[in-house]
Amino acid sequence: MRHRVAGRRLSRTSQHRLAMRRNLVASLIQHETISTTIEKAKEVKAFAEKLITLARKGTLSARRRAITLLGDRDIIDHEDGKVVKKGTLIGKLFSEIGPRYLDRPGGYTRIIRLSLRRLGDNGQVVLLQLVGPEETSVKETKAASRKRSRKRAKKTVEVEEEAQTQETAEVEETSVAEGADEVEGTTENSDRQDEPDQ
């Protein structure tokens, strides 16, 4: 019985599972999106996020820990029929991917289910991707728009209150001015009544 035993066996030995996990995460770091089965993607996702969390720290000990967990292989590309070295996995992880997610507290990868099925065993195929900066900016813009709308609501309330206070002040000034005119008019009338007719 496998009560409370975490993880999937994936029909592989433990060494084969470890090698497969490292290879999939290395491909994910290099290409930023990979196609695999749903079971493998769920197993690899947690490992990839742990490595990205180490990359966010950016310290020497974190770099050494990532090399221990993942290994450090070269990123090789083919250009004009020639093999070109474009850095290493750990270099890309710590220089590009880690700083990208400094403001994001987790959730660096996502699994997108595809309608395709793998030939041979009919396994469900998914895309495992690193979340791009556009998703973080969309969330930030939504949060910022909420803050702006709250600020705008506060400003409109303040403007309305100021307008009301100005109107009441103007009404009071006009009533005081009218009252003063009436008082002046009554004093002039009383002065005229006191003067004798000539």
Give tens-digit pLDDT for 23-81: 999 999 999 999 999 999 999 999 999 999 999 999 999 999 999 999 999 999 999 99
Q: What is the pLDDT of residue 155?
A: 66
Lowest mean pLDDT among 93-102, 115-124, 153-162, 173-182: 173-182
User: What CATH number does domain 14-131 carry, 3.40.630.30, 3.90.950.10, 3.90.1030.10, 3.90.1150.10?
Assistant: 3.90.1030.10
Q: What is the pLDDT of residue 135?
A: 65
Domain residue ranges in the chain: 14-131, 132-198
pLDDT tops 60 at residue 198: no
Helices (H) and strands (E) in the chain, counts: 6, 5
Contact call for residues 29 and 96 (beta carbons, < 8 A): no
**CB-based contacts of 184: which residues, under 8 Å, 6+ apart?**
none
Where residue 182 falls among pLDDT bands split at 50, 70, 90?
A: low
| 70-80 b/e (C-beta count within 10 Å ≥ 16 → b) | beeeebeeeee
Residue 21 dihedral angles phi and psi, to the nearest 5°: -65, -45
What pLDDT, in 10s, does the model give residues 124-174? 999 999 998 666 555 666 666 666 666 666 666 676 777 777 777 776 776
Interatomic CA distance for residues 10 and 23, integer angstroms: 15
For the question of whether the overall pTM of this predicted structure is more than 0.85, the answer is no
